């Protein structure tokens, strides 16, 4: 079943909905585009701590993936990959749901991502109440 989850990551990459590597993940978290940050199971402690901090600063869920760097990188067309960020909410929720099917430890994350955040309406534009001059002077 984790193969299905890996295929979702490949789909996210092809759809430009995945930031791969340290700098893109950091940028996605800072701009609040990231919906889920994940690190490889065998990622360096420093890398995992940085990813977790960026996720916390961007108010994004963070998880340790069940795959090692080689498996994760192979699914993304690279030799290795230590961290990635999914930037599409639907894909992030689907990924967590598929992982929760095989490992109940991912269930709280899947439930959190399944909840839709309420969309705040945009404030109405103010109308210009100033009297305008006519375009052509009256004669």
pTM, full prediction: 0.78
Has residue 55 been placed in a domain?
yes
Has residue 130 been placed in a domain?
no
C-alpha 16/C-alpha 14 separation (Å) is 6
Has residue 54 been placed in a domain?
yes
C-alpha 118/C-alpha 107 separation (Å) is 22
Has residue 128 been placed in a domain?
no
Query: What's residue 4's pLDDT?
Result: 84
Per run of 10 residues, the mean pLDDT along the chain (length 139 residues) is 80 93 94 94 94 93 93 92 94 92 89 73 70 70
In DSSP terms, which residues pair with 62 in a beta bridge? 37
Beta strands 62-64 and 83-86 are: unpaired
89-129, pLDDT tens digit by residue?
999 999 999 999 988 998 988 888 888 665 556 677 777 66
Find the domain containing 43 and state its range.
2-114
Q: CATH code at 93?
A: 3.30.1330.30
């Amino acid at each position: 079943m984790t193969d299905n989850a890996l295929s979702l990551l490949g789909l996210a990459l092809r759809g430009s909905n995945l930031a791969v590597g340290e700098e893109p993940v950091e940028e996605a978290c800072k701009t609040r585009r990231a919906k889920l940050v994940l690190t490889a199971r065998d990622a360096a402690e420093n890398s995992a701590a940085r990813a977790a901090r960026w996720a916390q600063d961007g108010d994004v869920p963070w998880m340790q993936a069940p795959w090692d760097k080689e498996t994760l990188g192979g699914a993304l067309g690279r030799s290795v990959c230590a961290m990635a960020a999914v930037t599409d909410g639907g894909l992030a929720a689907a990924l967590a749901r598929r992982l929760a099917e095989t490992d109940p430890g991912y269930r709280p994350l899947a439930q959190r991502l399944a909840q839709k955040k309420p969309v705040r309406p945009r404030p109405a534009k103010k109308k210009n109440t100033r009297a305008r001059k006519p375009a052509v002077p009256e004669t």
